[in-house]
């Protein structure tokens, strides 16, 4: 059975299984069906990356390396988030400690005054002080004052005791949080070192892969193959998601020409229609060069229909905006959204990288309609 037949059968199976599981009442993706859909897309992704020769074996190794970099990158990001939370919590605890210390000092002053007054009163026996008063009303007032003074004295002592307990408890929490902070910092440093090691492996594989494709003719052939695989993928994911309802929370994509935000905060280095180095193929999207780990943002509201690795594009996120329009974000270091996730305009969906066998850190961005590449310059804000 040839590859074309195999691909057709696989994609038909993917589509039929997706439609069969759709909810007749609501047509929304259920959680169970969403898991099945993600599994089917992964199966398609694996087929598109099938190993056929030595070059493909290198591609397979590159894919593994790219995915390892993405995994460690996600761990680093999670640790950074945890570190920020722990620092924020520690800052609050330290502020509480300062407030408690201030309260303790105030209460110490009050208790000192009470003790001093008590001492002075103790110089004259209470019974004598009361008997010296000729006015019975004054005697009653003195008794009430003495009772109130004694109660206030006890309340201040109890309050001071509570404050001391809070100070001690808070100090323990501060110490524990500082220890947790050190553990998280240590883990973060280890993961960052691991990430650098994985990136080094990634760059070596990319260099080896590019050296293997020595002739311009072979490079052109590979480029055409990669583009065809992308077209196949786009066609099938569009068919799979077509039956399902879409959120109607934002303006239609077709009404936003020239108004969409850029996916990366910089001007593109390569633009749609420009000739590539081989002089035989033109760019079908925009290329933004930047720093590893930079934020990549969705240009419009939509649903993630692909999130994974594809030969020639590396770690790729595809967002469906409805009416046949999709935006593509390729060569990422890590992907932050999964298939089925809804994203909003300007939401961070990936981190910039060099996956896919590229030696420069960049984002490759495309807009497509019914699978055909569109000029991003007509859609994005200038």
pLDDT tens for each residue of 286-295: 999 999 999 9
203: buried, middle or exposed (CB in 10 Å: 19+, 13-18, 0-12)?
A: middle
Residues 6+ apart with CB under 8 A from 210: 357, 359
Closest CA to 365 of 306, 259, 289: 289
For 15, the token pair is 């589509």
- Domain boundaries along the sequence of the chain: 52-212, 216-382
CA 236 remoteness from chain centre = 28
Q: Which residues pair with 289 in a beta bridge?
A: 362
Residue 343's pLDDT is what? 94
What is the pTM for the complete model shown? 0.60
Helices and strands counted in the chain (H then E): 6, 9
For 362, the token pair is 């960049």
Contact, 351 vs 296, CB < 8 A? yes
Residue found under tokens 């994005």:
380
For 227, the token pair is 């583009």
CATH 2.70.70.10: does it fit domain 216-382? Answer: yes
Rounded CA separation 98/12 (Å):
67
pLDDT confidence band for 318 (50 / 70 / 90): very high
Contact, 278 vs 220, CB < 8 A? yes
Task: Please identify, in words, the CATH class of the domain defined by 52-212.
Answer: mainly alpha
Q: What is the pLDDT of residues 158-205, one digit of tens each?
A: 777 787 788 788 788 888 888 887 887 788 788 778 877 877 777 777
Burial 168-187 (b: 16+ CB within 10 A, else e): eebeeebeebeeebeebeee
Residue 216's pLDDT is what? 47
Residue found under tokens 């020595």:
214
Contact, 380 vs 366, CB < 8 A? no
Average pLDDT, the chain: 75
pLDDT confidence band for 24 (50 / 70 / 90): very low
């Amino acid at each position: 059975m040839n590859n074309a037949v195999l691909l057709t059968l696989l994609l038909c199976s993917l589509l039929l299984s997706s439609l069969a599981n759709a909810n007749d009442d609501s047509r929304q993706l259920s959680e169970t069906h969403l898991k099945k859909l993600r599994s089917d897309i992964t199966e398609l992704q694996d087929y598109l990356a099938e190993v056929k020769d030595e070059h493909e074996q290198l591609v397979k190794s590159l894919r593994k390396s790219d995915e390892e970099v993405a995994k460690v990158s996600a761990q680093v990001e999670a640790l950074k988030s945890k570190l920020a939370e722990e620092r924020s919590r520690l800052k609050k605890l330290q502020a509480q400690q300062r407030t408690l210390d201030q309260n303790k000092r105030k209460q110490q002053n009050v208790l000192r005054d009470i003790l001093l007054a008590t001492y002075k009163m103790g110089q004259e026996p209470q019974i004598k002080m009361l008997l010296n008063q000729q006015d019975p009303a004054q005697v009653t007032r003195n008794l009430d004052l003495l009772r109130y003074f004694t109660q206030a004295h006890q309340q201040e002592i109890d309050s001071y005791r509570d404050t001391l307990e809070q100070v001690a408890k808070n100090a323990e929490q501060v110490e524990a949080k500082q220890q947790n902070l050190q553990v998280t910092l240590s883990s973060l440093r280890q993961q960052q070192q691991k990430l650098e090691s994985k990136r080094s492996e990634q760059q070596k594989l990319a260099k080896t892969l590019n050296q293997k494709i020595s002739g311009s003719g072979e490079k052109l052939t590979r480029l055409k193959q990669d583009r065809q695989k992308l077209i196949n993928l786009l066609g099938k994911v569009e068919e799979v998601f077509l039956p399902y309802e879409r959120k109607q929370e934002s303006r239609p994509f077709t009404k936003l020409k020239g108004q969409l935000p850029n996916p990366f905060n910089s001007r593109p280095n390569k633009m749609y229609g420009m000739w590539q180095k081989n002089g035989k193929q033109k760019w079908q999207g925009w290329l933004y060069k930047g720093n590893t780990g930079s934020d990549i943002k969705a240009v419009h509201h939509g649903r993630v229909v692909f999130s994974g690795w594809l030969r020639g594009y590396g770690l790729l996120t595809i967002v469906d905006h409805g009416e046949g329009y999709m935006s593509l974000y390729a060569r990422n270091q890590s992907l932050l959204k999964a298939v089925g996730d809804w994203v909003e305009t300007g939401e961070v969906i990936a981190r910039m990288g060099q996956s896919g066998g590229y030696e420069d850190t960049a984002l490759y961005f495309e807009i497509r309609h019914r699978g055909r590449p569109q000029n991003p310059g007509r859609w994005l804000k200038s």
